[in-house]
Amino acid sequence: MKANYLREGLLIVVSGPSGVGKGTVCSALRKKMPELTYSISATTRPPRESEVDGVNYFFKTVPEFKKMIQNDELIEWAQYVGNYYGTPRRFVEETLASGQDILLEIEVQGAMQVREKFPQGIFIFLVPPSFEDLKRRILNRGTETETSLAHRLDAATDELKQIERYDYVVINDEVEQACERIRAIITAEHCRKDRLILSE
């Protein structure tokens, strides 16, 4: 008899309300867990100063993005505060098939589309320690007009209600601690009984 864990990749979705710090947490996680593959989203939102095409996002024009939708090249997409965001399908499927874990950092609307297509995925919801904290983070980002700030706060309130549809909740009190929790969730999921193979 030999005991081994299944060599099948996990699909891990990290989502949460606008401004909770998904990007910051996932960047830190990328340094801590280089063995994880990170899905790269496509978006029509203009790049922020530090963002690089093909690294942080695939930046697309609206017509390009609409063509991807038509060709069924996205496993989820959403329009969010006037911009499109989506996850290219092929890279996710190829990564999982090769036995690698893949992490998707996506908005709440999109995450639930992924849940329908990949019910075996691990769905992690990042929350702020408090709503005041969330508001402060969005303000500090300093990239929002007054209208888009109001939109984002409204959206965040709605998004927080989606917590019920997730498997795990990670409080983003400190980036380091949030990363450690996500790492622990991934390790634990690999230890689930269903993932063990006993062979002769």
Q: Which residues sit at the interface with its own copies, rule CB under 8 A?
A: 1-5, 124-125, 127-131, 160, 163-164, 166-171, 180-181, 183-185, 187-189, 191-193, 195-196, 198
CA-nearest of 124, 85, 84, 97 to 37 is 97
Question: Rounded to 5 degrees, what angle do the CA atoms 105, 148, 89 make?
Answer: 25
Q: Select 71 or 187, whichever has its Cβ closest to its own copies.
A: 187
Instruction: State the nearest-atom distance from the C-beta of 75 to its own copies, in Å.
Output: 23
Instruction: State the nearest-atom distance from the C-beta of 191 to its own copies, in Å.
Output: 5
Q: Select 83 or 177, whichever has its Cβ closest to its own copies.
A: 177
Instruction: State the nearest-atom distance from the C-beta of 105 to its own copies, in Å.
Output: 17
23 is in an annotated binding site: yes
Question: Rounded to 5 degrees, what angle do the CA atoms 13, 19, 129 make?
Answer: 85
CA-nearest of 70, 194, 57, 33 to 120 is 194
9 is in an annotated binding site: no
46 is in an annotated binding site: no
Instruction: State the nearest-atom distance from the C-beta of 160 to its own copies, in Å.
Output: 7
N residues, the chain: 200
110 is in an annotated binding site: no
CB atoms within 10 A of CB 21: 20
Distance (Å, rounded) from C-alpha 183 to C-alpha 101?
A: 12
47 is in an annotated binding site: no
For the record, the structure tokens of 55 come out as 């690294």
Q: Select 13 or 185, whichever has its Cβ closest to its own copies.
A: 185
Show binding-site residues for ATP.
Answer: 16-23
